Structure 1
């Protein structure tokens, strides 16, 4: 790991480009409550010293700049937690620091996640003035009973009001919904999704409910408190999701993400295209190409421990490990086959120094799980339903 206290950085110089682009991820770990399905690094804390946190995030950004060198930033993403609990001044301070450290594209995408419960018109307008140009709302459902089951603090009406407000203020809007919930029928999901699409701007993230280890839902599920749809039923809901989204002009550019042409989330494309991204904040991960090679970074998860580490040494990283060439190829496949556009076999060979086993590729094509167009392989709609199995066969 490089020195903990980097020297002042030159802000000019040759900008290094990486395939897939370069983004900055900022993790805000605080929430009003912990959702029972959530395994993200989020914490319920009554009071947060926002000036202290803004200063710490800026300091870790400076450390990450030491690792990455000059780059052109194509996207910034405030994730969490609930970033809409950040004061406008905190968001502004972070974006100002990013602009000092790297070359920011003129058309940079700056996304911020928000919950309908933390919606305030004045704060939303403040975020927009600070530079945020894309909002991602954690709606999760448009049914009040289901929102209660999911542990959400907002109602369906509050969610729709937040969507309306966001559409007035931000050039781009996305919101999340969770489906394949206990007892959910195809007809009920179709009605809810069509209602959502009537309010959506240009992007929806549509996730099947999964049981994550260590969550409240995991404990309830083990006790038999509820059941999820059977595998075939969940697969039918997935097919239905794509069909209805397609009717509204949104394609499944990624397994769980649907967008109109040109409205894809650029920041997430950096991940899925195996680009570089600097992650700051508690629990944030990163992949950055340095003069010594590609590094995988991960920060301390506990907010207090991360903050103490940043103030003591300039960063909160607990991991900054080289990524082996073979691992880079596997990571690229794991991410890239989620995309409708697919993955380049030549790029896999450049990363790993070896060609992918064509007999495995051909076998998956014969089975209808993959398709190939020259250098590009893609997961078919059928392959996407069993993507983990496809990857297991491909990379074994």
Structure 2
């Protein structure tokens, strides 16, 4: 993808720079109550789950990872899925305890759990807080019941508002997730809905919103309907741009500007875990389908795990590892990844960390002339005009 880019001698010294982003642990819980029609994550519906058995498997995988990368300090833990709030609090406590035994914790470690606002999950919030979770990412997705049903969600707007209130009382930090650019959604309707979300979040220092435009992925129920011509009235390019503009205008005015393409926060409330990804840190991925990035012997290495829950569990118990493969990234591949992740951030990426891609000057200058990127103080970043067309900007930079 980057043939012909100049490899510079100093690139060798830059390979082990993961500490600029920090070190994190991602734990994937693969089970859900129901599969949402838009979801392409590795999630499965199961009748029964032996939580003790799963807790032991997570503990074993964390301990194995610690033997390979000992002595590090965890900046964050993220429990994702699937629906991690279907885990018993005892399972969560076991995972956090295993991580604490494996590595040191940063003084301000962020421990996030994804949750849905159903009454069943809300009842467990206090148990998760006691287990060590200090940040909740609440998957509200919509604030009107008709669209919640269309999205396959199991909660109502009333339940979502109640769950958010309980979450704010229980956890130090809470993030609220919404999906927009939905079927038939007008800029006026989205403005009213986002305004309601901002009233909930309040913008008083505890605020974080993850606002994602609906994407239609192959292999999902929505993808099948779209291919059959049955998913109608999705926003065209112009309406999607209008919805984006509404999002930026309202969140800026509320004091929750976009620090990343789809994430908005009051100052100091940014997701520390996702910043590890976007700033090119290292992370261990544990659980079915989890991915990791580790710098091993100076080489950036991608780590994959078995996707099928049953097979992952079996591999951990019988083979001592749930991994399914590893790939050492070349200097160019690692630099490309750093560029793609770093440009998602409003602050951009340090040019000095691009190693093999330091020869980007000419395309960057061309895009700067178009007002899509800026190079300032040794950093390359997208502008307000460039962020909504980030994929096109990256295609040009990596051509």
| Residue in 1 that maps onto 2:221 | 216
Match of 2:366 among 354, 363, 368: 363
| Residue in 2 that maps onto 1:388 | 391
| Residue in 1 that maps onto 2:9 | none
Contact 1:30 1:82 in 2 (8 A): yes
TM, length-normalised to structure 2: 0.93
Whether 1:237 and 2:230 are equivalent positions in the alignment is: no
3-state SS in 2 of match to 1:105: strand
Contact 2:85 2:114 in 1 (8 A): yes
Could you tell me how far apart the structure 2 residues matched to 1:227 and 1:68 are?
Answer: 49
Could you tell me how far apart the structure 1 residues matched to 2:134 and 2:38 are?
Answer: 28
3-state SS in 2 of match to 1:23: strand
Could you tell me how far apart the structure 1 residues matched to 2:320 and 2:346 are?
Answer: 39
User: Displacement of 1:222 after TM fit?
Assistant: 1.4
Whether 1:207 and 2:212 are equivalent positions in the alignment is: yes
Contact 1:197 1:248 in 2 (8 A): yes
Aligned pair in 2 of structure 1 residues 286, 118: CA closer, same or farther (>3 Å)? farther
TM, length-normalised to structure 1: 0.93
Whether 1:31 and 2:36 are equivalent positions in the alignment is: no
| Residue in 2 that maps onto 1:112 | 113
User: Displacement of 1:374 after TM fit?
Assistant: 2.4
3-state SS in 2 of match to 1:69: coil
Could you tell me how far apart the structure 2 residues matched to 1:170 and 1:369 are?
Answer: 39
| Residue in 2 that maps onto 1:283 | 289
Aligned pair in 2 of structure 1 residues 305, 120: CA closer, same or farther (>3 Å)? closer
| Residue in 1 that maps onto 2:307 | 301
Could you tell me how far apart the structure 1 residues matched to 2:358 and 2:215 are?
Answer: 34
Whether 1:318 and 2:321 are equivalent positions in the alignment is: no
Q: Residue by residue, what CA displacement relative to the aligned partner does 1:335-392 show, whole Å, maximum 9, x if unpaired?
A: 010000101111112xx3x523211110010011101112101111211111111101
Whether 1:186 and 2:175 are equivalent positions in the alignment is: no
Could you tell me how far apart the structure 2 residues matched to 1:46 and 1:375 are?
Answer: 54
Contact 1:252 1:340 in 2 (8 A): yes
3-state SS in 1 of match to 2:354: helix
**1:252-267 matched pairs, under 5 angstroms:** 252-267=258-273
User: Displacement of 1:69 after TM fit?
Assistant: 2.3
Match of 1:335 among 328, 337, 341: 341
Could you tell me how far apart the structure 2 residues matched to 1:280 and 1:368 are?
Answer: 41
Whether 1:137 and 2:105 are equivalent positions in the alignment is: no
Unpaired stretches in structure 2, ≥5 consecutive residues: 1-16
Contact 2:86 2:121 in 1 (8 A): no
User: Displacement of 1:292 after TM fit?
Assistant: 5.3
3-state SS in 2 of match to 1:357: helix
Could you tell me how far apart the structure 2 residues matched to 1:125 and 1:277 are?
Answer: 27
State the structure with bigger RCO (CA 8 A, min sep 6), 1 or 2.
2
User: Displacement of 1:247 after TM fit?
Assistant: 1.2
Aligned pair in 2 of structure 1 residues 390, 120: CA closer, same or farther (>3 Å)? closer
User: Displacement of 1:291 after TM fit?
Assistant: 2.4
Contact 2:70 2:102 in 1 (8 A): no
User: Displacement of 1:64 after TM fit?
Assistant: 1.4
Aligned pair in 2 of structure 1 residues 373, 17: CA closer, same or farther (>3 Å)? closer
Q: Note the aligned Cα RMSD (angstroms).
A: 1.3
User: Displacement of 1:119 after TM fit?
Assistant: 4.5
Aligned residues: 378
Q: Residue by residue, what CA displacement relative to the aligned partner does 1:291-320 show, whole Å, maximum 9, x if unpaired?
A: 252210011110001001101122211112
